[in-house]
Structure 1
Amino acid sequence: MSIGSILLQTSIDTFKSAERLGYKTLLQLSYEELHLKPSPESNSIAIIVKHLHGNMLSRWTDFLTTDGEKPSRNRDAEFEEGYDTREALLEAWRSGWELTFETLQELKEEDLLSNITIRGEVHNVIQAISRQIQHYGYHVGQIVYIGKQIKDADWQQLSVPKKASRL
């Protein structure tokens, strides 16, 4: 296995881990809880999902050939309102990640050092993937943290529960 294929697979695995943590959080919350804002200047989980979805569509559509910030994207609108239904939110979550995974799985090792642009700034593909791993990890962390605050004692652990026996 080459370094490039290991890098791609590791990136996909990292994104999948973030997707699972976020999804497990979303499943624990009601429609109302998904739209709850921790403070007036904070974003609800629904807004964070809307932003991630918009980012994913913009970044991963025609990834190698067009700027990652598409002219059709209205980033400011991603921070307004939420979703009409819980199902619409979950569909946005699913479709954004699906596009991310499809694009990553289509990449070839020789693509990794190709240059792409994001907001007019040149990045090689490795840098662009790394940038998105950091960005999505940041927002999934917010989703998990807000979800845990909302559910409090009813929170279902996403990974190893506290006081789990150690082998």
Structure 2
Amino acid sequence: MEIAIELIESMLGKFTSEKKWTLQAIEQLSEDDIISSPSPESNSIANLVAHIRGAVHSRIETILLDIPDTRDRNKEFEKGLKMSKEQAVTKTRDSFDIIIQYLEHLKSTPELLMSQPFLNLPPLTYSQVNNETTALNLMMAIFREVHFHTGQIIYAAKIRKGQLVWNYD
């Protein structure tokens, strides 16, 4: 189990760091920055935050908190999606906190890393993983998805603000 703990701790460090940088970027934006898209084909920061929150809900909250999957993925990508800066910060913080909570749960019970948490749940929707996936594969998919979209959030924030100010503490 030593390698499992190392992997989980590595993911915890990565998600903690990703949370910090994403929140710092969002906190420097205006309400208009949150809902503006870099181009007509692009997603706004509001869309990206909603999408991350939806993915975390359908993939982790259904396991960790036994909450039924009520995700509306299409709504996450609606053009003109309204979201305040405060909502963007809260949804981002909540998403990362849920991921980190699940990783802490796995760290305390590393044997669950190879479990199949969705096996007896309704079929997954909008997911790269299926109901036979392992907790490890789920976390790898979440890792890829969240990192991809937080990169887009930071890039969109730089487009809107030019230079961002980073706190490295």
- Find the residue that maps to 1:122 and give its secondary structure: coil
Looking at CA atoms only, which structure, 1 or 2, has the larger radius of gyration?
A: 1
- Find the residue that maps to 1:8 and give its secondary structure: helix
Instruction: Quote the offset at 1:82 in angstroms.
Output: 3.1
* 2:112 pairs with 1:111: yes
TM-score relative to the length of structure 1: 0.83
Tell me if the contact between 1:113 and 1:125 (Cα under 8 Å) persists in the aligned partners.
Answer: yes
Structure 1 gaps of 5+ residues are: 160-167
Q: Distance in 2 between matches of 1:149 and 1:85?
A: 19
Aligned to 1:87: 86
- Find the residue that maps to 2:114 and give its secondary structure: coil
Tell me if the contact between 1:51 and 1:75 (Cα under 8 Å) persists in the aligned partners.
Answer: yes
Aligned to 1:43: 43
Higher strand share: 1
Aligned to 1:156: 165
**Residues 122-145 of structure 1: CA deviation (Å, up to 9, x unaligned):** 222111111111110000110111
Counterpart of 1:149, as a letter, is I
Tell me if the contact between 1:83 and 1:89 (Cα under 8 Å) persists in the aligned partners.
Answer: no
Structure 2 gaps of 5+ residues are: 119-123
Change (3 A) 1:83 1:92: farther
Counterpart of 1:10, as a letter, is S
Aligned to 2:76: 78
| Percent of pairs with identical residues | 27
Aligned to 1:164: none
- Find the residue that maps to 2:132 and give its secondary structure: strand
TM-score relative to the length of structure 2: 0.82
Q: How many residues align?
A: 156
Tell me if the contact between 1:65 and 1:116 (Cα under 8 Å) persists in the aligned partners.
Answer: no
Aligned to 1:143: 153
Map 1:27-42 onto structure 2 (within 5 A).
Answer: 27-42=27-42
Tell me if the contact between 1:64 and 1:116 (Cα under 8 Å) persists in the aligned partners.
Answer: no
Aligned to 2:2: 2
Tell me if the contact between 1:54 and 1:73 (Cα under 8 Å) persists in the aligned partners.
Answer: yes
Instruction: Quote the offset at 1:65 in angstroms.
Output: 9.5
- Find the residue that maps to 1:61 and give its secondary structure: helix
